[in-house]
Each structure stands twice: as structure tokens, then as C-alpha cells.
Amino acid sequence: MRAPTAPRRVVVTGIGVVSPAGTGLDAFWKGLQLEVEPARERRVQDFDPSPWLSGKEVRHHDRFTHFAVAAAQMALDDCGDAPDVDPTRAGVQLGTGIGGVGTLETQVGVLAARGPARVSPFTIPMVMPNAGAAAVSLRYGFQGPSETLTTACAAGTHSVAAGARMVADGRCDVVLAGGAESSMTPTTVAAFTVMTALSRTGVSRPFDTGRNGFCISEGAAVLVLEERDAAIARGARIYGEVLGAASTCDAHHMTAPSPGGAGAAACMRLALDDAGLEPSDVRAVNAHGTSTPLNDAAEAAAVSTVFGPHGVPVSSIKGVTGHGLGAAGALEAASVLLSFVHRELPPTMGTTEVDPELDVDVVLAPRAWEPGPTISNSFGFGGHNGSLVLGPA
């Protein structure tokens, strides 16, 4: 039996973002600092897929796949001299919460109004959740693993973690990892509304006394993950390193978090163990921070349990981006990496009065900092928890 080898170190050398806060890294970072108009639905405005997809491709892909391909191309372009890699050792790990539900709802309407003969023959490949990953692999000829995780709102975080493990374990030399989502159809918005998950005011207020639900959104983020030594050898710019990750399940309720955030706390502790870090080593927490009463309280309790009351700065970007469901964790990982570059923690926009019952240090205005290990959390319906530990280059 061959002796196991030590895990390889994994770094991020490219980032691509499509977001309601802005498309492209400069626009995205700037957008995280800006007030937004109240809106329960936060869409990527004026998105034109034509720079990344032909007219035929646009017609044959769902909007969430448009986002995935655009973010992947931006991430590769951001690499500069892209890595020259054996295509059998290049992979894709792209999460989504729901997949091509926009296409599904449209084609259900076509079936009802015009009959089965008028349903698009591209319906299945447009709807399937793995369509984004498949399209990205096909575009670049990546013949390694091409996989999709659908763990609700934890999918983006889980996918970055899974992609990093492909590189760390030596299966791949390069992985495009992240998440994509576009699921604001009339049915899904109505469903979130009747379950009282959406904000009544169209304002996302993470950890605020007046928080009353999230603002649903869409978008995508893709990271280029490489083995550290190879990235250094080719002179790549390195945004940061994936230090560790963990995944747990509350096994408590289909939509509500476990009491006191026990599952989230366990997940963060496992991620720290995976990174070889102590809680005192962590310099910031990028919160899931959805602006729902139960989830913010549970996450705050978990952060306080692991790091101590007001023990570490906590910020959530969902006050601007809204909640991108399966794309959220990837977008938030991108924001953490950019906070390393800009040496600044983004503000928790929309929040004006932190709930005094929550023992966390919420970042309310841009805060200068010395970058260090940061935990990025994502929690999804079904009790899925994901924590990703990122460190500066």
C-alpha cells in the first residue's frame, strides 16, 4: 500500500463575480459600501451575457448558467497568465440551491398554454442543477471531476471547500469552484413569502433589532483554486489561501436552526481543527447573516460560543447583495478575499441598531484591519452548515 502524502496547500489566484452589488471585482467591492433601495428581490441589473456566450448558447442555457459561465471566464481572465494544466487534472465544483427553475416555470406555462409539442427540447439540460458546472467544463475542456453540490444556501461554501480538497488531495491541479443562482420566479418568491422568510420592508438588516426576513437575490462567484507552489512558480498573484473547511447538519428541523446555534458552532470548530487553528487565531467572521430572526440569533449564539462575546468582528454583506441562496457562500468568500486586498472589513449595510440580545461585534461601517484567518459561514434549509477558513496570501 502506498503511503499517504501530505495535503497540498491551496490558494486562490482568480476571482469572478456577478452580483446585484456589481459585476466584476471593482464594481462588486465598491457596491458593498453603498446604500441600496429597498427591494425584496435583488436582481443583477442590465446583465448582458453576450460577452461570454453566443446568441445560440444564451438561448440554450438558463440564466443561472449564464452567470456561472460569466463568473468562470472573469476568474480565469483575472489569473493573468492562466495555468497550463493537463485537462484531465482540471475540475469544476459549482454549487446551486435550485438550478434552472426559471426555465422550468416558463416551460410549465408553455405546456399549459400550447401543449407538449411546444415544450423546448432543451428543457432538461437547462433545468438540471449540474448545467452550470457542465457548461463551464465543456467551455474550457476540463476533463477532471465536474460536480454540483445542492445543499440549499450552503452550496457555494461547500463547493469551494470541495474544490479545495480536490487540489489538496492531488486529484486536480486547478479547480474552478463557486456557486450560481437565479431562481426568483413568481412561484419561488410566493413560496418564500408565505413561509414569512422574506423581508416585509425590502430591507435586509442582519443582526438588527428590526430584522424581519431576507431579500432574495441572484448571482454567481467563481474562484480559481491552485496548488500553492505551482502558483508561486508561475508568478501568479495570490489572493489568499484555503486553510480549512467543515460541513455538518443540525438534524433538527427542515428550515429552523438548532437551538443556540449548536450545529453552527460545531461546524466552525471542525473548520478550525481542519485548519490547525485556535479560535484566538481568527481575526474576523463573515456571517451568513440573513436578517431572519431565528437564523441571526442562532449564528450570533454560535459565534459567541466559539469566540467569546464580542470576541471577533462579524460582518454580513447581505444588506447589499441580498441572499443569493446557493451562490451566497461563493460571493461571500470573494468578499473575504477582497477584504484581504483592501485591508478593510466591509460594513453590514442596512443594520442600524444591533439587537442587544446578540453578543457579537457587528461591523457597521468600513473597518480597517490587519488581515488574518477569517471564517465564512453558510447555513441552509435542511440544517446544512458550512464553514470555510480563508487566510491572506
- 61, 66, 323, 384: the catalytic one is 323
288 annotated active-site: yes
Locate 194 and state its grid cell: 408565505
- 61, 66, 158, 288: the catalytic one is 288
172 annotated active-site: no
- 61, 66, 79, 153: the catalytic one is 153
Give the single-character DSSP code of 381. Answer: T
Residue with cell 438588527: 208
Burial class (CB in 10 A: 0-12, 13-18, 19+), 61: buried
Residue pair 31/345 in contact (Cβ under 8 Å)? The answer is no
CA gap 374, 283 in Å, rounded: 6
CA gap 378, 257 in Å, rounded: 12
Burial class (CB in 10 A: 0-12, 13-18, 19+), 139: middle
| Among 237, 253, 223, 111, residue whose Cα is nearest residue 159 | 223
CA gap 125, 135 in Å, rounded: 10
CA gap 295, 205 in Å, rounded: 12
> Given the DSSP bridges, would you call strands 367-368 and 344-345 parallel, antiparallel or unpaired?
antiparallel
Residue pair 257/294 in contact (Cβ under 8 Å)? The answer is yes
Catalytic residue list: 153, 288, 323
